[in-house]
Amino acid sequence: MLDFEIKTEMLDGGAALVDVRGYLDAHTFEQLDKALGELFKDKVFRIIVKLDQLDYISSAGAGVFIGVFGRAQENRGDIVILKPSANVREVFDLLGLSQIFKIVETLPEAVKALQSA
């Protein structure tokens, strides 16, 4: 089993920072889906997903982002991608997700992007 880790931290202002590390693929995407689902259950719809330590993302992993994006927006929230690794950025570009998500390089930029949502 490949390494996969998710850490969730609440930020001031009611947004969540979700740090995803390792390999997001067909074996691990349900863990991320569940973690984001828990935030939604707690009425947290403004989410920053940090991907600088995510080494690999499959189409199944990318599918999680597509699914939760609509749900966040339906609840007047947003999902901002923070510092995707080169591999992840490439997959996001290939799948057209870079056109959908705000992708930023610093946490202050991510917080600001959420506030403008």
pLDDT of 22-31, one tens digit each? 999 999 999 9
- 100 and 92 Cβ atoms separated by less than 8 Å: no
Write out the residue range of the structural domain in which residue 36 sits: 4-115
**In the chain, how many domains are there?**
1
Q: What percent of the chain has pLDDT over 90?
A: 93
Task: Please state, in angstroms and rounded to a whole number, the distance separating the CA atoms of residues 17 and 7.
Answer: 8
Q: How far apart are CA 62 and CA 102, in angstroms?
A: 15
Q: What is the mean pLDDT of the chain?
A: 95
Instruction: Tell me what the mean pLDDT of segment 4-23 comes to.
Output: 96
- The CATH code of the domain that includes 59 is 3.30.750.24
Spatial contact of 85 and 57, defined as CB atoms under 8 Å apart: no
Q: Which of 75, 4, 8, 89 is nearest to 48 (CA)?
A: 8
